[in-house]
Amino acid sequence: MSASPSAASAEPGFTTRQVHAGADWAAASPRAVPLFLTAGFTFDDFDGAAGHFQEGTGFGYTRTGNPTIDALERKLAALEGGTDAVFVASGQAAVAVALLGLLGAGDHVVASTHIYEGSRGLLLDNLSRLGITVSFVEDIEDPDAWRAASHTGTRAFFAESIANARNDVLDIAAIAAVAQERGIPLVIDNTFATPYLLRPIEHGANVVVHSASKFLAGHGAALGGVIVDDGRFDAARSGPLFPHLVAATRAGGPSPAERHGGRARIAYVRETVAPRFGPSPSPFNAFLVAQGIETLSLRVREQSRNALAVARWLEGRPEVESVDYAGLDSHPHHRIAERYLTRGYGAVFQFTLHGGEAAARGFVQAVEVFTHMTHLGDVRSLVLHPGSTSHSQHTEDARRALGVHPGTLRLSVGIEDIDDLLADLDHALRVSAHALAESTVEVLG
């Protein structure tokens, strides 16, 4: 409490003390990321408040900035090789905010067919209602397919570096070149790869998004999402396509491009999209994600090694029809994966059992080390049956086209000892095969 002349004489009342006493804590330099779990920040003086609102200096309110979140954003920008990053409340929010920073009514986006179902839903159910149209590309390795799907109204390409559900790997440089021909950004969801395995900006992508809830946080305790920008917005070339980045503000002030140059895109996201739509993360979640990232390389290296061992092992099992892992020679994108994923092929992939849904049911009910849940990138190994869960809204034909069959199971491989993982899978395959044999006998009987 300040000792103003009028307040100095009397001791404040109990309730005033319970709110204000102890507020003059010592300044210190914590080595771990400090957690600023606060809605807002005091202004030093009148001019400090005015400066914050008029020029954006300092911190005022956590929805528009917070030192814990700021530290995480700088860490993420550095890891992805971008110029700046904006952290939001979830991966879904990151995809939405990144696209809303680029697209408006009448605009068109070309997206890979092989994306997370939440992103597909955002494009088809939500952005479509705002007048934003989408075309999907099935053969994502073919630059001409992206070229053919785009037109003069196209304002962004969107794809995943390693994709849901079939583990397709994008030839980022080739598709970025097509986007570049049109002066539009390639937006990459890099959740499955993480910046440890792959940094899309180094290959020509312009915007990277993540579900930070997955590998970045790593321990399944917090949700978060991030948008990272390459800072290479070219106002002369692309300004006419993105008028909101080069037009004066509503009050007649200088445009984002005039104020921020090549960083106009991410500045617009930070100033005008994220705080207005409002998917603000808790500083506590930012703290947890920042803690998680400190061991990212160790976890992802180990998880990728485990995943490759699991995928090879599964490929040799008679109960298994196919394994969709980019690290295997048999995967159609293995050559692309070898070029882009030199440190490992990631830890999330799917495989398909011969016995269809009945075999998959038996399998998920038998695992003990693997956890049956909808999540990925965790230190723990996880399993999910996409056909009856994440992809259940599709018709059977649409599921098949996406590579999701009745016997398909998605694994996210964790850091456990590989022998324990293989023993668990072996046990689950045996239980599932046994249950299947019994049910077949019953039907025949």
Q: Which residues bind ligand PLP (CB under 6 A)?
A: 90-92, 95, 116, 118, 160, 164, 189, 191, 211, 213, 223, 225
DSSP letter for 270, please.
I
Residue closer to ligand PLP, measured from CB, 319 or 378: 378
Residue 256 Cβ vs ligand PLP, minimum distance, rounded to whole Å = 26
Name, in order, each residue with C-beta under 8 angstroms of 389's C-beta and a sequence gap of 6 or more: 374
Name, in order, each residue with C-beta under 8 angstroms of 81's C-beta and a sequence gap of 6 or more: 195, 199, 201, 202, 230
- Residue-wise DSSP of 317-344: -TTEEEEE-TTSTTSTTHHHHHHH-TT-
Residue 109 Cβ vs ligand PLP, minimum distance, rounded to whole Å = 16
Residue 192 Cβ vs ligand PLP, minimum distance, rounded to whole Å = 6
Tell me which residue has tokens 């002066």.
Answer: 183
Residue 12 Cβ vs ligand PLP, minimum distance, rounded to whole Å = 44
Residue closer to ligand PLP, measured from CB, 76 or 366: 76
Residue closer to ligand PLP, measured from CB, 246 or 409: 409
Q: Which segments of 122-219 does DSSP mark as H helices, in order?
A: 143-149, 172-182, 194-197
Is residue 386 within 8 A of residue 350, CB to CB? The reply is: yes
DSSP H or E stretch at residue 418? helix 418-444
Residue 149 Cβ vs ligand PLP, minimum distance, rounded to whole Å = 21
Cα–Cα distance for residue pair 377/373, rounded to 1 Å: 12
Residue 243 Cβ vs ligand PLP, minimum distance, rounded to whole Å = 28
Residue 254 Cβ vs ligand PLP, minimum distance, rounded to whole Å = 34
Residue closer to ligand PLP, measured from CB, 214 or 260: 214
Residue closer to ligand PLP, measured from CB, 214 or 399: 214
**Longest CA pairwise span in the chain (Å):** 95
Tell me which residue has tokens 């600023």.
Answer: 36
Residue closer to ligand PLP, measured from CB, 90 or 194: 90
Both tokens assigned to 114? 């092989």
Both tokens assigned to 120? 């597909």
Exposed / middle / buried, residue 441 (Cβ in 10 Å: 0-12, 13-18, 19+): exposed
Residue closer to ligand PLP, measured from CB, 190 or 432: 190
Residue 30 Cβ vs ligand PLP, minimum distance, rounded to whole Å = 27
Backbone angles phi, psi at 169, to 5 degrees: -115, 130
Residue closer to ligand PLP, measured from CB, 361 or 410: 410
CA atoms within 13 Å, Cβ hemisphere of 213: 17
Cα–Cα distance for residue pair 358/436, rounded to 1 Å: 7
Residue closer to ligand PLP, measured from CB, 95 or 308: 95
Residue nearest to ligand PLP as judged by C-beta position: 91
Residue 390 Cβ vs ligand PLP, minimum distance, rounded to whole Å = 8
Cα–Cα distance for residue pair 280/65, rounded to 1 Å: 9
